[in-house]
């Protein structure tokens, strides 16, 4: 980076393309950049070196590019602020596709830079270029899984494209963006002028149309069994206190999607847990009997809706729907809505409060018969869970593990999960009392996400306990990142529920097809159940580790791990026999059945006929 004179008062800044990028990240207050260097990204990487040595940004070495995206994703979900990720050309770039898709589906954001073929050599087949179908066109593979993708053809484009990238990421419906950087673009020097970011991006958010707000308020006044469905958009808005005020003013039960769990304090009298295929008895009862549902940032995906089978999770159009979303494409996409409101859910909640409060009169939700009904449903639900946890086996069940964690973890603990039985049972059974403390991979249901995402959450909130609760099938996909956790001393507590297999799929086979159809999901060696020694593996990385299998061992192990302030792994050898290997499914999920199981096939076809799709 070189200053050159241009008259008495003005200076010109000579910078490489890589330096321009890093300067922009610093101006945007991006604290971390994560990735793995290679020949295709050396120009940017040297600029990162320069900035880190000056103390302006921190570089984190991951051991697989996918982990970089998941760490950035977890960081964004906790802070609402993006990190930067980089890769070399070719395989390194394509390794991020799962992480991009996870963030894109769940509407979270990070900025990815990937090395690319030199502008003047595009199409010759340089190392790691794919050019047979079209010259250096790996960005096409990124287009379905990112909000926007660019290939930069000259360093002069960088200031403008960086501004656009941050705009795309952080306004409207958030999403990850990708920038392909030819190797020569990273190193070419130009006369640069990076303008202040605030001159190119508004912090304003869209409010709802006042006429539709009034229409919604009138419909809310008519409701006798109102329900608020809070989705992932509610977590993104962070309007937690306003959601409580709206629920109390309206007297509405509040249920959340998996992506929206912890958007509402789950010990509140109006909380009704969850509907859907992985939902709860209270949530399903409340959602299917609602007369008006206010949806806040929810997509009505198949798991939330019980695959759209009428009368299981929802009863639209008899139930009137008020749907609020920042993305117009979601309004009415899967269900007809009486009132569709486009806007930021936090702003719309306050608009609805202003319009509805005069109509509410002297209503007090605490004395409402409906609130009493919610309490009775939850009392029955908790009694059912308690009965399940009173069963005795040679090893702890996942449900019993969750019960022990509920009584042990500080209430502000952030719990991170990803696809599997641990995710489903946390959804059904754990009570989050502090909003925003449940972090999970939702719509893309990515395995291998929880552990690196938990590191991102811990980087975001270093003074808050962070737990990654996951199964062994999940953990084995990213086990190498124990090296990253140890290297940077990121004090996440990994609680590994080891059931020696992909148990969620085995349970699905067992439940949907029958016991003899449970196949191919157990770890088997020499005709016996097999497991790696996760404690020795963790210790090999220099991480404190402990193996337990009994309920009484959970609290001491977890308390010691948190108190240490260091990275830790607790391997919990859990019970693995169906059905106590997982939780119960109370809804409906469209899993097609083959013809050679006629009884199950007929039952499936009868259910499918009731789907509204």
Task: Report pLDDT digits (tens) over 157-169.
Answer: 999 999 999 999 9
Contact 63, 92 (CB under 8 A): no
DSSP state letters, 293-344: EEEES----TTTTTTTBTTTS--TTTSEEEEEESSGGGTTSSS--SEEEES-
Q: What is the residue-wise DSSP string for 469-518?
A: EEEHHHHTTSGGGHHHHHHHT---EEEEEE-SB-HHHHHHHHHHT-GGG-
Q: Is residue 241 over pLDDT 90? A: yes
Helix 398-408, helix 421-429: angle, nearest 10: 50
Query: Is the per-residue pLDDT at 558 higher than 90?
Result: yes
User: Beta strand 148-151 with 189-192: parallel, antiparallel or unpaired?
Assistant: unpaired
Give the mean model confidence (pLDDT) for residues 110-128.
92
- Asked if 485 and 561 touch (Cβ cutoff 8 Å), the reply is no
pLDDT in tens, 179-208: 999 999 999 999 887 666 667 788 899 999
> Mean pLDDT over residues 334-363, rounded?
97
Residue 102 confidence (pLDDT) above 60 = yes
Selection from 392, 417, 330 nearest residue 77 by Cα: 417
Question: How far from chain centre, in Å, is Cα 340?
Answer: 25
Quick one: average pLDDT of 236-264?
97
- Cβ burial of 8 (10 Å; 0-12, 13-18, 19+) is exposed
Mean pLDDT, rounded, for 124-149: 91
Mean pLDDT, range 429-438, rounded to an integer: 98
**Tokens linked to 155:** 């360093």
Specify the CATH number of the domain 210-377.
3.40.50.1220
List the structure tokens of 188. Answer: 């070419």
CB 292 within 8 A of CB 226: yes
DSSP category for residue 167: H
- CA 259, CA 298: separation in Å to the nearest integer? 9
Q: What percent of the chain has pLDDT over 90?
A: 92
Average pLDDT across the chain, whole number: 95
pLDDT at residue number 196: 66
Predicted pLDDT at 9: 43
| Strands 226-230, 292-296: pairing kind | parallel
Q: How far apart (Å, rounded) are the C-alpha atoms in residues 346 and 251?
A: 19
Domain extent listing, the chain: 2-199, 210-377, 392-573
CATH number of this structure's domain 2-199, picked from the four choices 3.90.1300.10, 3.40.50.720, 3.10.129.10, 3.40.50.970: 3.40.50.970
pLDDT at 127 over 90: no
Whether the domain at 2-199 and the domain at 392-573 fall into the same CATH topology = yes
Q: What six digits make up the tokens of 65?
A: 């590019």
Expressed in angstroms, the distance from the first to the final Cα of the chain is 58
* Predicted local distance difference test score (pLDDT) of residue 385: 97
Buried b (16+ CB within 10 A) or exposed e, 76-95: bbbebebbbbbbbbbebbbb
**Other residues' Cβ atoms within 10 Å of the Cβ of residue 612:** 16
> Rounded distance, CA 442 to CA 259, Å?
5
**pLDDT at 421 > cutoff 50:** yes
Sign of CA dihedral 63, 68, 74, 75: positive
Which tokens sit at 394? 């040679």
Q: For 477-535, how does the pLDDT look when each residue is reduced to its tens digit (9 = 90+)? A: 999 999 999 999 999 999 999 999 999 999 999 999 999 999 999 999 999 999 999 99
Please report the pLDDT score of residue 455 as a whole number.
98
pTM of the predicted model, to two decimals? 0.96
* CA-based nearest residue to 443, from 109, 110, 145, 102: 102
DSSP 120: G
Residue (of 570, 529, 534, 530) closest to 553 by Cα position? 570
Query: Where does the pLDDT of residue 5 fall: very low under 50, low under 70, confident under 90, or very high at 90 and above?
Result: very low
Asked if the model's pLDDT at residue 293 lies above 80, the reply is yes
- The CATH number given to 392-573 is 3.40.50.970
If pLDDT is split at 50, 70 and 90, which confidence band does 1 have? low
Mean pLDDT of 433-442: 97
Query: Treating both helix axes as pointing N-terminal to C-terminal, what angle do 17-27 and 158-170 enclose, rounded to 10 degrees?
Result: 40
Residue 260 has pLDDT above 90, yes or no: yes
> Hey, CA dihedral for 590, 594, 595, 601, is it positive or negative?
negative
Coil/strand/helix, residue 32: strand
Count CA atoms within 13 Å of residue 57 on its CB side.
Answer: 26
Nearest C-alpha neighbor of 462 from the set 15, 78, 55: 78
SS3 143: helix
Q: Which two tokens stand for residue 371?
A: 């609130």
Q: What is the pLDDT of residue 8?
A: 42
Tokens for 422?
């641990």
Q: How many CA atoms lie within 13 Å of 381's alpha carbon, on the beta-carbon side?
A: 24
Place of tokens 């999960």: 417
Residue bearing tokens 């990076």: 194
Report the pLDDT averaged over residues 212-220: 98
Predicted pLDDT of residue 198:
67
Q: Which residue has the higher pLDDT, 13 or 535?
A: 535
């Amino acid at each position: 980076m070189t200053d050159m004179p241009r008259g008495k008062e003005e200076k010109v800044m000579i910078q490489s393309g890589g330096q321009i990028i890093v300067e922009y990240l610093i101006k945007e207050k991006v604290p971390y950049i994560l990735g793995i260097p290679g020949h295709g990204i050396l120009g940017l990487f040297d600029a990162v070196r320069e900035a880190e040595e000056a103390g302006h940004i921190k570089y984190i070495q991951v051991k697989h590019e996918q982990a970089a995206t998941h760490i950035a994703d977890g960081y964004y979900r906790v802070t609402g602020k993006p990190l930067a990720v980089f890769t070399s050309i070719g395989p390194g770039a394509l390794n991020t596709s799962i992480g991009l898709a996870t963030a894109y589906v769940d509407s979270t954001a990070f900025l990815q830079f990937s090395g690319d073929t030199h502008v003047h050599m595009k199409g010759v087949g340089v190392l790691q270029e794919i050019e047979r179908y079209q010259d250096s066109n790996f960005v096409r593979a990124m287009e379905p899984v990112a909000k926007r993708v660019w290939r930069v053809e000259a360093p002069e484009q960088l200031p403008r494209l960086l501004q656009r990238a941050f705009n795309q990421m952080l306004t409207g419906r958030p999403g990850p963006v990708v920038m392909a950087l030819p190797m020569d673009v990273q190193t070419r020097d130009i006369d640069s002028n990076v303008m202040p970011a605030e001159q190119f991006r508004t912090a304003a958010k869209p409010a709802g149309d006042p006429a539709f707000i009034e229409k919604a308020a009138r419909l809310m006044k008519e409701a006798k069994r109102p329900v608020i469905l809070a989705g992932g958009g509610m977590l993104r808005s962070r309007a937690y206190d306003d959601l409580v005020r709206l629920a109390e003013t309206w007297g509405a039960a509040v249920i959340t999607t998996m992506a929206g769990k912890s958007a509402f304090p789950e010990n509140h009298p109006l909380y009704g847990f969850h509907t859907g295929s992985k939902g709860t008895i209270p949530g399903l009862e409340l959602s299917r009997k609602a007369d008006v549902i206010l949806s806040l940032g929810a997509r009505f995906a198949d798991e939330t809706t019980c695959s759209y089978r009428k009368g299981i999770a929802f009863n639209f159009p008899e139930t009137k729907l008020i749907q609020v979303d920042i993305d117009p494409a979601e309004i009415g996409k899967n269900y007809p809505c009486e009132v569709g409101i486009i806007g930021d859910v936090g702003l719309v909640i306050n608009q609805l409060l202003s319009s509805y409060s005069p109509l509410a009169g002297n209503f007090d939700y605490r004395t409402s018969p409906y609130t009493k009904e919610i309490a009775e449903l939850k009392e029955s639900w908790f009694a059912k869970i308690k009965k399940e946890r009173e069963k005795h086996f040679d090893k702890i069940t996942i449900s019993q593990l969750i019960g022990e964690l509920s009584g042990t973890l500080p209430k502000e603990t952030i719990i991170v999960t990803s696809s599997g039985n641990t995710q489903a049972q946390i959804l059904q059974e754990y009570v989050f009392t502090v909003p925003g403390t449940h972090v999970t991979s939702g719509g893309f249901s990515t395995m291998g996400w929880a552990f690196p995402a938990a590191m991102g959450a811990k980087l975001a909130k270093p003074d808050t306990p962070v737990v990654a609760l996951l199964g062994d099938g999940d953990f084995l996909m990213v086990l190498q990142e124990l090296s990253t956790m140890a290297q940077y001393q990121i004090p996440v507590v990994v609680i590994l529920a080891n059931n020696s297999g992909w148990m969620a799929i085995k349970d699905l086979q067992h439940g949907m097809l029958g016991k003899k159809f449970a196949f191919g999901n157990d770890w088997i060696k020499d005709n016996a159940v097999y497991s790696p020694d996760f404690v020795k593996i963790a210790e090999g990385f220099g991480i404190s580790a402990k193996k337990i299998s009994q309920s009484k061992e959970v609290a001491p192990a977890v308390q010691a791990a948190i108190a240490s302030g260091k990275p830790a792994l607790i391997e919990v050898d859990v019970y693995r026999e169906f059905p106590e290997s997982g939780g119960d499914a109370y809804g409906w999920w469209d899993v097609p059945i083959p013809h050679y199981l006629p009884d199950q096939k007929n039952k499936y076809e009868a259910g499918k006929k009731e789907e509204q799709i």
